[in-house]
A and B are shown apart, each in its own frame.
Chain A
Amino acid sequence: MIKTLAILAVATASLAAGAAQAAQQWPASIVGNWAAIANQSSLTVSITSQTGGETCNQIAGTIGSDTLLGFYCPGSGRFNFLRSNSPSGTYQAYTGNLSETVTGNVVMTGTFADYIDNPQGEASFIASPAE
């Protein structure tokens, strides 16, 4: 009986630990500078504002020398932003998720679609907080 209770206690503690870990998987804010690699290019992504919205918040800033406009959802880690400049207008679209590889180590991974440059199509994208 005591053995059974002990096993249940361990199982309950494990579930609680798992739940706590899952609940803090994504940061509340992604404002700041991110060091990114988009296909073959190294870029700095600067998210200068995160405001408004309900489930998801609108984000704005720069990527390289271009502007970005999109959203981040703190409840799911989902992000999406459009990259624009003049005269091309919006020429790339980035989408993906944040995750925590180890506690406190957040990464942004996903894909971006290019509508104007050659070759067109999708390529990988990864970013981590800039030092």
Chain B
Amino acid sequence: MIKYLALAAIVGIAAGTAQAASPWPSKVTGKWSGGANEDQVTIHITSQASTGNCRQIVGTYTDNTVGGSSDILGFYCPATGRIAFRRSTTGTTAAFQNYTANLSLQGSTVYMGGVFSENATAANVGEYAFYAYK
């Protein structure tokens, strides 16, 4: 009986370890649908660097509510699920918003939840909720 309990404990620990070791996807490239404050958005991450603890990501950000596209540049850390990126007008590098979030998984859906800061428009500066999924 003691032998079976010990075996069950080892299997349980091993299963828990395996689950905890890879709760986040290795890549975040692709199209994400979501919301940022009052607007519906689409985030298209077109590339992700292949090395480093945190890997540079590049893509575009479309505001489907008011229209218009922007560039994004940031990083994703596969070991922690952390993601952050700046948002700048297409073709420019000076950002007007900054996004920070963490990934989580539910079934086959990957969620991105966090906040974004508005830095450029004086009347609206501050932090707002942000989420996306794919």
Contacts and interface: CB of A to CB of B under 8 A. Distances in A.
A83 to B, nearest CB: 10
Contacts of B34: none
Prevailing SS type, chain B contact patch: strand
B82 A93 contact: no
Contacts of B74: 113, 115
A41 interface: no
A25 B134 CA distance: 41
Contacts of B93: 84, 87-90
Interface stretch (B2-10, B39-47, B114-122): B114-122
B75 interface: yes
A36 interface: no
B56 A71 contact: no
Nearest to A113: B84
Contact of B75 (A55, A73, A95, A113): A113
Contacts of B119: 58, 69-71, 80-82
Contact of B53 (A81, A90, A119): A119
A120 B56 contact: yes
Interface residues of A, number: 32
B122 A52 contact: yes
A38 to B, nearest CB: 15
B101 to A, nearest CB: 11
A81 to B, nearest CB: 7
Contacts of B55: 120
Interface in A81-109: 81-82, 84, 87-90, 93, 95
A100 to B, nearest CB: 21
Interface string A112-126: 011110111110000
Contacts of A114: 75
Given A58-B119, A89-B95, A93-B84, 7 more contacts: A71-B126, A81-B119, A89-B93, A89-B94, A90-B98, A113-B84, A121-B54
